[in-house]
Amino acid sequence: MRKKLSFIDTSLDDLRAFPHDMRTEMGYQLDRVQQGMDPDDWKPFTTVGAGVREIRVKDQDGIYRAMYVAKFEEAVYVLHCFQKKSQATSQHDVQLARKRFKELTRERDK
């Protein structure tokens, strides 16, 4: 069964700001997740929250990421999309995704 895709806060606008090829590739990877498959290149990102994963795509101009959670039955939630500027994920990006994950779980618990 295909899950709904739900973008949290500015994550959709952030994805739309990616270069065309990276936006297309990220869309393909998110489609795989909606269908219950793993993205081609991902890693768990448990420092953000339980079940949070990061999709990794890159081209010659940069490295792009989408943090998402797919463990909930009703939807795949995209927490944060961004271009990576260094080898390590910035604290700003981690904290923003963590904040959105906490807000999501708080809303779901109501």
Residue 78 near residue 12, CB atoms below 8 Å: yes
Distance of CA 62 to the CA centre of its chain: 17
Model pLDDT, residue 28 = 98
- 51-109: pLDDT as tens digits: 999 999 999 889 999 999 999 999 999 999 999 988 888 999 999 999 999 999 999 88
Which residues 6+ apart lie within 8 Å of 63 measured at CB? 56, 57, 83, 84
Give me the pLDDT at residue 1, please.
Answer: 82
pLDDT of amino acid 34: 98
List the CATH number of the domain containing 54: 3.30.2310.20
Distance CA 94, CA 23 (A): 21
Domains in the chain: how many in total? 1
Cα–Cα distance measured from residue 95 to residue 74, given in angstroms and rounded to the nearest whole number: 25
pLDDT, residue 88, reads 86
pLDDT value at residue 108: 86
Query: Which residues span the domain enclosing 61?
Result: 4-109
